[in-house]
Amino acid sequence: MVPVVYDSVGKDTFVASLDSLAPLGYMVSYGNASGPVPPVDISMLGAKGSLFLTRPSLASYTASHGDLLACSSDLFAVVESGAVKIRVNQTFPLADAAAAHAALEGRKTTGSTVLVP
């Protein structure tokens, strides 16, 4: 049992993610790669241990220009400190943007993909 679950998959992992939480645990659902999560009976959260569930969106955290600047400043500070490393595992010439999109759509990439001039 864990105190927090970050679920980016959605429909296929939602219930298992909830089931992995310790009482009073937090679940952050932030993606739906397998499809949207079906409607949730919120009484289930109480039955599974008074769980907390949130679905954050970037737009809510960056609603004002000041919020956007603060968030981006925090992000770049963390990256510059080395605490977060951004892996660029493949690059494509800008002229090959269609090939880059095909690789992304075909799940043939990992990490970040960068188009270069």
pLDDT for residue 18: 96
Cα dihedral sign for 18, 28, 34, 107? negative
Give the pairing type, strands 52-54 and 2-7: unpaired
| Residue 48 sits in the same domain as residue 69 | no
pLDDT for residue 10: 96
The phi-psi region of residue 80 (left if phi > 0; otherwise alpha if psi is between -120 and 50; otherwise beta) is alpha
Beta bridge partners of 92: 115
Domain that holds residue 114: 87-117
Residue 29: count other Cβ atoms within 10 Å of its Cβ: 21
Give the CATH number, domain containing residue 45.
3.40.50.720
Tell me the per-residue pLDDT of 48-90, one tens digit each, with 9 for 90 and over.
Answer: 999 999 999 999 999 999 999 999 999 999 999 999 999 999 9
pLDDT for residue 51: 98
| Residue 81 sits in the same domain as residue 48 | no
| Residue 8 sits in the same domain as residue 37 | yes
| Residue 68 sits in the same domain as residue 107 | no
